[in-house]
């Protein structure tokens, strides 16, 4: 999520969603985050797939699919049929190109495709998929309950919903992180584990398991810091409009939040009864 020029975040839900979509499609975010836009990378995606029971031929929805890394991994390694939905038109176009280049678009049961769609109004019929996954995204949705309710609506009875996401203690969050850009894991509107569980419950879902992966968030922050340093040393033009001092200060504050136990990362699985 990109802060407005005065450092404040937009407050209207539509503006917040547009801001996030634009931010994650920017060249500088791609340079800083690399192929995986979430902590834990491919290893944690594999762990998530196992936790929700993705198997050969399983129909999976990836909500806020971004550049498509999660969806393509599920197709390649688990032989799943995956639909990725993302609000960013550019991200969807890029993900479809990547799937075609990787040979996972339209190959038997390992079919991957991406569509533009809002997580709070998913473009799918009721009970149409076996599994829903979403990585480091629910924390960015303005109406988290609506998004969870939509996930519950589209998954079949007995199906599972798995997320990996930032978790935090909002009462201890440094005010400087309240307008933090998506470059540093979207801490601004994340919730504690209990908060996500309450959202699942309100959407009619049963929480099955919770795993903490706090180190994954710390590692991602370190990676972001290293990439910023490398880009700065290379005098990358992608950083021409970026306030490096402010960005580095926020990275340091985010690192301290993880070290102090204020922020972390969790894998959570829920089931539609």
Show the tokens assigned to 24: 């994650």
The tokens 């390992």 sit on which residue? Answer: 110
Q: What is the pLDDT of residues 71-103, one digit of tens each?
A: 999 999 999 999 999 999 999 999 999 999 988
Q: Grade residue 111 by pLDDT with cuts at 50, 70 and 90.
A: confident
CB atoms within 10 A of CB 114: 27
Whether residue 192 has pLDDT greater than 50: yes
3-state secondary structure 103-149: CCCCECCECEEEEECECCECCCCCCCEEEEEEECCHHHCCCHHHHHH
H or E stretch at 100: helix 89-102
What is the distance between the alpha carbons of residues 145 and 118, in angstroms, rounded to a whole number? 13
H or E stretch at 21: helix 13-24
Among candidates 78, 54, 76, which has minimal Cα distance to 131? Answer: 54
Q: Grade residue 51 by pLDDT with cuts at 50, 70 and 90.
A: very high
Show the tokens assigned to 216: 């994954």
CB atoms within 10 A of CB 193: 16
What is the distance between the alpha carbons of residues 213 and 220, in angstroms, rounded to a whole number? 12
CB atoms within 10 A of CB 172: 11
> Domain 13-271: which topology?
Rossmann fold (3.40.50)
pTM: 0.86
Q: What is the pLDDT of residues 132-172, one digit of tens each?
A: 999 999 998 989 999 999 999 999 999 999 999 999 988 88
Whether residue 184 has pLDDT greater than 60: no
H or E stretch at 157: strand 155-168
């Amino acid at each position: 999520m990109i802060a407005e020029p005065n450092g404040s975040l937009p407050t209207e839900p539509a503006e917040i969603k547009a801001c996030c979509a634009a931010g994650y499609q920017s060249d500088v975010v791609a340079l800083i985050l690399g192929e995986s836009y979430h902590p834990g990378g491919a290893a944690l995606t594999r762990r998530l797939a196992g936790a929700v029971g993705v198997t050969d031929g399983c129909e999976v929805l990836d909500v806020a699919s971004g550049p498509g890394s999660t969806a393509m991994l599920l197709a390649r390694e688990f032989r799943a049929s995956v639909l990725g939905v993302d609000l960013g038109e550019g991200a969807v176009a890029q993900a479809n190109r990547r799937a075609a280049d990787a040979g996972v678009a339209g190959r038997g049961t390992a079919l991957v495709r991406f569509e533009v769609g809002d997580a709070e109004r998913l473009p799918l019929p009721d009970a149409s998929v076996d599994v829903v996954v979403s990585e480091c995204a629910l924390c960015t949705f303005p109406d988290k309950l609506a998004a969870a309710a939509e996930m519950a609506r589209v998954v079949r009875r007995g199906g599972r919903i798995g997320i990996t996401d930032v978790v935090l203690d909002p009462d201890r969050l440094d005010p400087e992180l309240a307008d933090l850009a998506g470059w540093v894991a979207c801490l601004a509107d994340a919730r504690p584990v209990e908060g996500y569980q309450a959202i699942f419950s309100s959407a009619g879902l049963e929480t099955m398991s919770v795993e903490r992966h706090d180190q994954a968030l710390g590692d991602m922050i370190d990676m972001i810091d290293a990439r910023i340093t490398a880009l700065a040393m290379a005098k990358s033009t992608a950083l021409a409009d970026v306030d490096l001092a402010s960005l580095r200060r926020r990275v340091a504050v985010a690192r301290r939040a993880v070290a102090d136990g204020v922020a972390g990362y969790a894998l959570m699985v829920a089931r539609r009864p």
